[in-house]
Copies of this chain bind each other. A is one copy, B any other.
Amino acid sequence: MSEAASQAVQSTIRELVDANHILFDQGVVDGFGHVSARHPGRPDRFLLARSMAPALVTERDVLEFDSEGAPVEKGGPAAYLERFIHSEIYRKRPDVHAVVHSHSPSVVPFGVVAAAKLRPMFHMCGFLGGATPVFEIRDFAGDGSDLLISSKQLGAALAQSLGQGPAVLMRGHGSTVVGSNLRQAVFRAVYTEVGARLQTEAMRLGPVTYLTEEETIATTNTIGTQIDRSWLLWLKAAERRSMVS
């Protein structure tokens, strides 16, 4: 690997560590949940921490995985049981370069109530587009699964449910959000949580005015240019409350 390529990997790993800490500090993940980045030099691979709490991840904990969701280096530390969420989404979605899986608390209820659809009503969440699809694992693994995406087959089914969208809810479990880069995926994961909270509160007040389809497109385009503003703040906040320094 050239020096430039090696530096790109190092840079991605550093940003991935920051993403782990930000997602914890912003309340998107707790001891569980994970975030990955597509490998900058080998698009069939991705980078993901070993199985551990995101808040505690350091550069040393980041592993490289192949397109089957297997660690490239054999005999290493335990990997997340659900790494297939990442491998199958990267396979199916060349546009995706970062994936966040979480149990972020305001989103979970939308996955278990068929009558309630997660939909953007707040301009910061325009990226959600229309109603977010819900992945029902029972359709693929029957009524007795552990709800985890613990195989290539389940990962592929989840990726199918995600389709070309930014997010998919997982019934009884959580959600997965994707982006064209780490900062975008993190931004979306945080604002999916924020938007779900706001929508929940609004629905209790009465019928809600949601964004029109055109509004979701226009807000996505404009807000998409402002992501670094949040990233810099969140990074500072995560560093102030760091669990690893």
| Chain A interfacial positions (CB closer than 8 Å to B) | 30-32, 51-53, 55-56, 81, 103, 105-106, 108-110, 112-116, 121-124, 126, 143-148, 150, 171-173, 194, 197-198, 200-212, 214-215, 217-219, 221-223, 226, 229-230, 232-234, 236-237, 240, 243
Query: Are B233 and A122 within 8 A (Cβ)?
Result: no
Given contacts A215-B143, A233-B53, contact A148 B222 (CB under 8 A): yes
Query: Are B108 and A214 within 8 A (Cβ)?
Result: no
Query: Are A113 and B215 within 8 A (Cβ)?
Result: no
Query: Are A240 and B243 within 8 A (Cβ)?
Result: yes
Smallest beta-carbon distance A57→chain B, Å: 11
Smallest beta-carbon distance A116→chain B, Å: 4
Give A29's nearest chain B residue, CB to CB: B233
Max chain B CB contacts within 10 Å: which of A108, A114, A206? Answer: A108
Query: Are A204 and B204 within 8 A (Cβ)?
Result: yes
Query: Are A221 and B146 within 8 A (Cβ)?
Result: yes
Give A26's nearest chain B residue, CB to CB: B30
Given contacts A116-B206, A206-B114, contact A32 B201 (CB under 8 A): no
Give A116's nearest chain B residue, CB to CB: B205
For the complex, what is the distance from the CA of A103 to the CA of B124, rounded to whole Å? 9
Given contacts A171-B209, A200-B201, contact A145 B218 (CB under 8 A): yes
Max chain B CB contacts within 10 Å: which of A31, A115, A150? Answer: A31
Query: Are A123 and B173 within 8 A (Cβ)?
Result: yes
One of B31, B229, B240 near A53 (C-beta < 8 A): B229
One of B113, B123, B204 near A172 (C-beta < 8 A): B123
List, in ascending order, chain B residues with CB within 8 A of A226's CB: 32, 51, 81
One of B108, B211, B243 near A233 (C-beta < 8 A): B243
Smallest beta-carbon distance A179→chain B, Å: 16
One of B105, B113, B124 near A209 (C-beta < 8 A): B113
Given contacts A205-B113, A207-B115, contact A212 B56 (CB under 8 A): no
For the complex, what is the distance from the CA of A113 to the CA of B199, rounded to whole Å? 10
For the complex, what is the distance from the CA of A234 to the CA of B150, rounded to whole Å? 25
Given contacts A108-B198, A218-B145, contact A233 B173 (CB under 8 A): no
Query: Are A145 and B31 within 8 A (Cβ)?
Result: no
One of B106, B202, B232, B234 near A113 (C-beta < 8 A): B202
